[in-house]
Amino acid sequence: MSTEKIVDKIKEKYQNLGENPNTYLNGLLQAKPINYWDYIQVDTLLTLQKTRTDFKDEAIFVMYHQVTELVLKMMIHELKQLVEESLSEQIWIDKLNRLIRYTDMLITSFDVMRSGMDYDDYNIFRSTLTPASGFQSAQFRYLELYCTRLDNLINERGRTRLPESPSIEDFFDNIYWKDAGYNRKTGKKSLTLRQFEEKYEESFISLAKKMQGNTLEEKANKMNPSKELKDKLKEFDYHYNVAWPMVHLETAQFYLDRKGETKAATGGSEWKKYLHPKYQQRKFFPELWSESEIANWGEK
């Protein structure tokens, strides 16, 4: 395209917006050329690692979790498009392939946790992190709410506590992840859970109300999906809700139970039960799985 045509296109763009093109062209004359470090905000990004001890591998621990949060943000970015826009089935398949690749990144990245930190150092500096816990990742919960109905985030034990016609608040009172910090016998909640609820629960409930009837699960059902799309949905479901939690559990076992010591998690959860897919029973698309597959959820 010639320079003249490019300038004409620029003028047309801003005229269509009701703006004076010359103002924007004059501004372009003064603009500095973009560079990588400013565009990616590298200097800011590399200052976000704030450790609490002098153990060198604590910086690895912090950066690992920051990378995880960025991957979760990429996944939510894709999910928002799927639930908010009318897209073709082929685009759904393409985006599900992205979601699967991102989940694979989360799965393989646990090698950094397992083999990238000194075992003894980690088991010393981790005590300074109490009561913080990866359990407090809000993006993890937002992702669930975009993907599936609240009913699918209630495990078998939680279902026995639900009233006949549960409200959104009833579902949240019994959602699977609260079992990590809520003693139902005493009615006491861990500090980890209390902090998490105080900061995020209102936003969780607000998103859940917004997503009623419009989750990824419900939109897929309305599409009359092909076998290829169903298979992709199942693949994502399995990767995110079985494969990733199992790698997480195995990594926790490496650091917390390697010598049969059964150390407590920093958030105080019963991590051996809480992290296992069979205990969480989280499924985004349960209608796509057979009864036997659901009964053996989380079995290798």
Q: Which residues of the chain have pLDDT under 70?
A: 255-273, 300
- Could you tell me the two tokens for 214? 């419009």
60-295: CATH number:
1.20.58
**How many residues are listed for the chain in this entry?**
300
Sign of CA dihedral 296, 297, 298, 300: positive
pLDDT reported for residue 78? 98
* pTM exceeds 0.85, yes or no: yes
What per-residue string of b and e applies to 198-229 under the rule 16 or more CB within 10 Å gives b?
A: eebbeebbeebeebeeebbbebbeeeebeeeb
Report pLDDT digits (tens) over 182-234: 998 899 999 999 999 999 999 999 999 999 999 999 999 999 999 999 999 99
Sketch the domain layout of the chain as residue ranges.
3-31, 60-295
- Which SS3 state, helix, strand or coil, does residue 230 take? helix
